[in-house]
Each structure stands twice: as structure tokens, then as C-alpha cells.
Amino acid sequence: MTPAPANEALAPVAPERRVFHWRDHASLWFSLGVGLLVMQVGAYLMPALGTQEALAAIVLGSVAGAGLLGWVAKIGCDSGLASAGLMHAVYGRRFAGLPIALNIVQLLGWGAFELVVMRDATVAIGRQSGALAGAYWPVLATLLWGGVVMLLISGSMVRLVRRLIARIALPLVVLSLLWLSWQFIALAQAHGLEALWSRRGDGGMGVLPALDLVIAMPISWLPLVADYARHGHSGGPALRGTWLGYALANMWCYALGVLVALVLPSQDLVTALLLAQGGLIALSLILIDEVDNAYGDAYSGSVSAHSLRPAWSVRRWGLAIAAVCTAFALVLPMHSLEPFLLLLSSVFVPLFGVILGRLAFGAPAQQLLARAGGVEWSATLLWLAGIACYHLLPRALPQLGAALPTLALCFALAWATRPRTA
């Protein structure tokens, strides 16, 4: 009789496979925090907010959002469990399949969206350089980047982080960000730094809703962070490295998006970056770094899928998910689907508010997983109530935002109702 395949997603990582130090966590999450989408969202803050209000929201939102990311990283590292394992421990083995399936759906969507972002940027770079002119180039660019993700997913995630990202991709993307920042600061000086610094917004967005918008990017990674952090030596370095790496990247990219919107308000982001001196090279380096975002979606999607169907290995699931993301990028109108993806992402704010409330401050996730029943009703009802709260708050109290109040409420209630452990 053939034994059932081991479920790697629901078992702690063995001590000999825990090789990430804080620098590995920091390198990974700085790299994942850099992206064209982040810069574009930063540009959305203008002209609704004044410059000083926008930068305050960026700093506070990045510190808070990356702190939550680091906190979940610590829980994942201390327990050695993937995100799917944490969901099983908190919501029960039977019910956890629902949030895990929702996570797979959103990762397929965001993975396809990343490929579309890379495709559009590739075509823009090609046209700027005069290399791409045919109508078939978007299809070829999509297949190219999808193939790159499939190639990476077929290898070792740990080696990818420690060798390719930390040693090669990270220095190049930092240099590109430094160059672009220098170029747009020079343009800002030509416009008058004092006038731009004191510029007031038109009032189309409050500071707390802007804070929600900034926090949205780190929160979108909450369902993924434990899949990587579980390979760390200990929880403290996982928390500090994840927090520092992502907070710096988020602040830098959001602020660069604001700066671009200030000095070139009539241009879309990619065109504006290409207009900078040396922008073609800098944008190309950022585009290459964007691959790890699509890889991250595919890898975590494969870990989640493996937790539901362990007959397929994580690598086999990764190849399948990367292929589906590529197909979606080719046929679906991804830009019009972005609101749906953001709506789907909203379910993970209360989901992880409950997980943090149940597993924070050293609660034994492995012990909860070992005795988890079919459905943990108190956690499940709190999550569902949190989803309702997230969508009702903007209507009832639009000035408060939705993410932080919902997260705080779910955390407090989950902590107050946590099961007692021996």
C-alpha cells in the first residue's frame, strides 16, 4: 500500500532547513516591496493630499503595515508553519479550506496582474528604444515573463532568496531607485522645492483613508509572509528583517510615486520614469526585480494548494499556478479586474486580525494545530463579522478608513476569546 504523501504546508520546517538570517528576510522583503504598482499607488495620493500630508501617511502607514507583516513573520518562524498551517490552527482543519482557497484565487489574480504590469512596462521600454513595434509583442512579452517565473519556480526558493535576490537583484534595484530619486529630485528643484513641499491638496482624500491606501500594500502580503519566514533561524530576526526591509521599500516607492506625480502630473508612471535621464536602464532594472513579486504569488499559491492536495508537490503546483497566471494575463482584462482583486484582498485583513489575536505573544500554534477540530466557530464568526465591519465602516465613518479599525477590532476580540492552552 502506497503511503499518503507528506503535507509539507501543515508540518513545521525541520531545524536543518531553517537557514534565513535577518539579512535574508530584509533582502527578500525589500525586494518584494519594490514595484511599479507600489509607485503607481503612491501617485494616486496626489493631488488629493498635500505633500506633507502624503509623506506623513506614507511613513506612518509603512511602519504600521510592515510591522504587522513582521509580526506574522515571527509567528510563522516560531511555529515553522506556512500560512495554510496557521489558518488550520486558528479556524479548524475543515473550515480552513475556505480562506486557503480564497488565497489561491487572489494569488492567481495578482500573479496574472504582475505579469500584465511587466508586459506593459516591457512594451513601453521596447517602444522607447525603438526595438518593439509589432502588435504581437505584448503576447510575446507575457509568455517571456511567464516562462521566467516558471523557470524560477522549478528551482529552490531558499537558494533564490539567498543567492539571486540578496546578492544580485537587490543591489541593482537599489541603484536604480537611487538614480531615479536623484533625477526626479533634480526636476523638483527646477519646479521649486519649497513650493512643492508646501503644496496643499484639493481635499479629495482624508489622511486616514490615505493611510488605508498605504497600508494596503503590506497587508496584501500577509497571507504569504509565513511561507518564507518559516525558513528562518528564529522569530526575532524574522520580525526585524521583514519589518525593516519592507518598510524601507514601501516608503521609498510610495514617496517616489508622489514625487513623480508632483513634477510630471500629466504623465502615466512608466512614461514619466522613461522621461528621466537614464530612465530606460533604471526602469529595466526595476522591471527585472518585479519578477520576484510574480514568483512570490506563484510560490505561496503552490504552498497553499499543496496544503489542500498534497499528492502534488509544492514545485508541481508552482509550475501549474505560474502557467495559469500566464494564461490569465493573456486573455483576461486584468486592469478592469483590479477592483475585484482589491475586494478579495479585503477578506484577509480581518482574517489575519483574528490569527494575530489568537497566536500573538507566544501562543503555541503547533499545539493548536494538533488539536484543531473541523471548525473553530468563535474564530470563524469573528472573521465573518470583521469582513462586514471592513465594508460597513467606509459608509458609516468614511473619515476613519477601514483596514486599521477592522484589524484592531478583530485582534482585540480574538485575543479576548482565545482558547486556554495547557
- Give me the domains of the chain, ranges plus CATH numbers: 18-337 (1.10.4160.10)
| For range 12-22, the mean pLDDT | 89
Longest CA span, the chain? 76
Q: Which long-range contacts (CB under 8 A, 24 or more apart) does 150-154 make?
A: 150/319, 150/322, 150/323, 150/326, 152/291, 152/295, 153/295, 153/298, 153/299, 153/302, 153/315, 153/318, 153/319, 153/321, 153/322, 154/315, 154/318, 154/319
Of 152-161, 164-173, 283-292, 297-306, give the range with the top mean pLDDT.
297-306
Give percent of the chain with pLDDT exceeding 70.
91
| Interacting residues of 370 by C-beta distance below 8 A, sequence separation 6+ | none
| For range 305-309, the mean pLDDT | 94
SS3 20: strand
Return the pLDDT at 208: 79
**Higher local confidence (pLDDT), 11 or 300:** 300
65-95 in b/e burial notation, b at 16+ Cβ within 10 A?
bbebbbbbbbbbbbbbbbbbbbbbbbbbbeb
pLDDT of 59 > 80? The answer is: yes
Q: Which residue do the cell numbers 525589500 mark? A: 30
- Tell me if 281 sits within 8 A of 20, measured CB to CB: no
| For range 50-70, the mean pLDDT | 92
pLDDT of 150 > 90? The answer is: yes
- Per the DSSP assignment, residues forming a β-bridge with 232 are 20
From start to end of 79-160, where are the E strands?
A: none
| For range 248-268, the mean pLDDT | 87
pLDDT of 1 > 70? The answer is: no
| For range 381-410, the mean pLDDT | 87
Return the pLDDT at 245: 95
- Tell me if 260 sits within 8 A of 39, measured CB to CB: yes
- As given in the structure block, the three cell numbers for residue 128 are 522607447
Question: Which amino acid makes up residue 134?
Answer: G
308-341 in b/e burial notation, b at 16+ Cβ within 10 A?
bebebebbebbbbbbbbbbebbbeeebeebeeeb
Lowest model confidence (mean pLDDT) among 75-79, 90-94, 278-282, 336-340: 336-340
From start to end of 31-160, where are the E strands?
A: none
pLDDT digits (tens, 9 = 90+) for 181-224: 888 888 888 888 888 888 887 877 777 788 888 888 888 899 99
Of 99-108, 276-285, 360-369, give the range with the top mean pLDDT.
99-108
- Tell me if 41 sits within 8 A of 218, measured CB to CB: no
Return the pLDDT at 362: 64
- Per the DSSP assignment, residues forming a β-bridge with 112 are none
- Per the DSSP assignment, residues forming a β-bridge with 20 are 232
| Interacting residues of 199 by C-beta distance below 8 A, sequence separation 6+ | 50, 51, 262
Q: Quick one: pLDDT band at residue 2, thresholds 50, 70, 90?
A: very low
Return the pLDDT at 229: 94
